[in-house]
């Protein structure tokens, strides 16, 4: 492919990542579940190309996704696409580890693990650095001060440019920021947590003071509640959906919940009136939270990428009245 950057779509909004100066597309593309299980290299290239054409510059990954294979696939896709490194933001997350049963190599954020985990991720990506490195969960067995120092040193070494948290409590985030400020270290700038019309309390309530005091960012995941908010599960679980994947029986059970499906269906008349899909409606709603830096979308086919990024045209339609109507429908 030609050595050209992802498109700068005039309809795409680019927001600052928390209180940092980094600007990220308000809609982004992530690899959880899909890479390796549903997408091979060729389809990954096509989906990332479609996201880039829509103005996406933020691509999310994690060490634990497909046991490291997701990072490898995304790295190969980036090389195939030929995008210059300055044109995109790539992120990854560490905590779970890849070596089961080995002390210091799983379920930890100690210094030894973090220093080796970033090296492994960069090798799998084939990159010199990632733009954002997340601590994928908090580690109750490692002092937060040790984790903050290690993340600071990783950034100072140039192997990551920013760092963040994922599914940490507000108290843990505040503790990390306080330690960093006390020692003049690089502070975390963003959280990555689940947020959607059905899962709101953590982002809107627990993080309220952290958001307001520190302008902490959030690169939210599961804007469609694992697909439930698309409305496509009212007639059962399609064979090509993530709910049909082996090992995701827990998800299939949730997606088959009649009460949840009936609740979501109350959004359909609103989507029909606005001339959009239910998925686009749900994604657009997430962007209305000013503390959301980007909404991470996932897809197993190009048509889904195009549909998801079509939500950018729905955002202006979500007036305060429409937003209130949507929230009332699910109350």
In DSSP notation, 303-321 reads HHHHHHHGGGGTGGG--HH
Nearest to 110 by CA among 79, 76, 140, 73: 140
Return the pLDDT at 9.
Answer: 83
Q: What amino acid positions are annotated as catalytic residues?
A: 65
172 has a pLDDT exceeding 50: yes
Superfamily of domain 14-226+280-319: NADP-dependent oxidoreductase domain (3.20.20.100)
Question: Given pLDDT bands bounded at 50, 70 and 90, which one contains residue 2?
Answer: very low
Return the pLDDT at 109.
Answer: 98
For the ranges 7-16, 18-27, 312-321, which has the lowest average pLDDT?
Answer: 7-16
Question: Given pLDDT bands bounded at 50, 70 and 90, which one contains residue 162?
Answer: very high
Q: Describe the crossing of helices 69-81 and 41-53 by its angle, rounded to 10 degrees.
A: 60
Mean pLDDT of 99-105: 96
Question: Given pLDDT bands bounded at 50, 70 and 90, which one contains residue 135?
Answer: very high
242 has a pLDDT exceeding 90: no
Return the pLDDT at 251.
Answer: 64
Tokens found for residue 298: 């996932």
pLDDT in tens, 54-79: 999 999 999 999 999 999 999 999 99
Is the entire prediction scored with pTM above 0.85? yes
Question: Given pLDDT bands bounded at 50, 70 and 90, which one contains residue 33?
Answer: confident
238 has a pLDDT exceeding 70: no
Domain ranges of the chain: 14-226+280-319
243 has a pLDDT exceeding 80: no
Question: Given pLDDT bands bounded at 50, 70 and 90, which one contains residue 4?
Answer: confident
Query: Cα–Cα distances in Å, from 167 out to 97, 136, 217, 220?
Result: 17, 7, 13, 10
Return the pLDDT at 241.
Answer: 61
264 has a pLDDT exceeding 70: yes
35 has a pLDDT exceeding 90: no
Query: Cα–Cα distances in Å, from 46 out to 51, 79, 111, 215?
Result: 9, 13, 37, 35
Q: What CA–CA distance (Å, rounded) separates 331 from 325?
A: 10
Q: Describe the crossing of helices 41-53 and 302-309 by its angle, rounded to 10 degrees.
A: 20
Mean pLDDT of 155-181: 98
Return the pLDDT at 289.
Answer: 97
Compute the C-alpha angle 199/288/231, nearest 5°: 50
Helix (H) or strand (E) holding 166: strand 160-166
Return the pLDDT at 239.
Answer: 67
Question: Given pLDDT bands bounded at 50, 70 and 90, which one contains residue 1?
Answer: very low
In the chain, DSSP finds a helix count (H) and a strand count (E) of: 13, 10
More confident position, 308 or 35 = 308
Name the β-bridge partners of 28.
296
Return the pLDDT at 244.
Answer: 61
Mean pLDDT of 106-114: 98
């Amino acid at each position: 492919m030609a050595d050209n950057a992802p498109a700068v779509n005039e309809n795409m909004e680019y927001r600052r990542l928390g209180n940092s100066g980094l600007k990220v597309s308000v809609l982004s593309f992530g690899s959880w579940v899909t890479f390796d299980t549903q997408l091979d290299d060729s389809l990954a290239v096509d989906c990332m190309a479609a996201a880039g054409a829509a103005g996406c510059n933020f691509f999310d990954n994690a060490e634990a996704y497909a046991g490291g294979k997701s990072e490898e696939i995304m790295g190969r896709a980036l090389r195939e696409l030929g995008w210059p490194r300055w044109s995109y933001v790539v992120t990854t997350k560490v905590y779970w580890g890849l070596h089961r049963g080995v002390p210091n190599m799983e379920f930890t954020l100690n210094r030894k693990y973090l220093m080796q985990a970033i090296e492994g991720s960069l090798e799998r990506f084939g990159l010199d650095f990632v733009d954002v490195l997340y601590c994928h969960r908090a580690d109750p067995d490692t002092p937060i001060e040790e984790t903050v120092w290690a993340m600071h040193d990783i950034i100072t070494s140039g192997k990551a440019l920013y760092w963040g948290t994922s599914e940490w409590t507000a108290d843990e985030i505040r503790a990390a920021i306080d330690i960093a400020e006390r020692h003049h270290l690089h502070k975390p700038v963003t959280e990555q947590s689940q947020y959607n019309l059905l899962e709101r309390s953590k982002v809107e309530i627990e993080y309220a003071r952290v958001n307001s005091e520190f302008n902490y960012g959030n690169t939210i995941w599961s804007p469609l509640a694992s697909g439930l908010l698309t409305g496509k599960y009212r007639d059962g679980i399609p064979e090509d959906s993530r709910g049909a994947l082996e090992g995701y029986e827990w998800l299939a059970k949730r997606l088959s919940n009649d009460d949840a499906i009936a609740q979501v269906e109350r959004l359909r008349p609103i989507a029909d009136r606005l001339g959009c899909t239910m998925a686009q409606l749900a994604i657009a709603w997430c962007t209305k939270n000013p503390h959301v830096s980007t909404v991470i979308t996932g897809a197993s086919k190009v048509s889904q990428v195009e549909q998801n990024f079509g939500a950018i045209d729905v955002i202006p339609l979500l007036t305060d009245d429409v937003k209130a109507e949507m929230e009332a429908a699910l109350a």
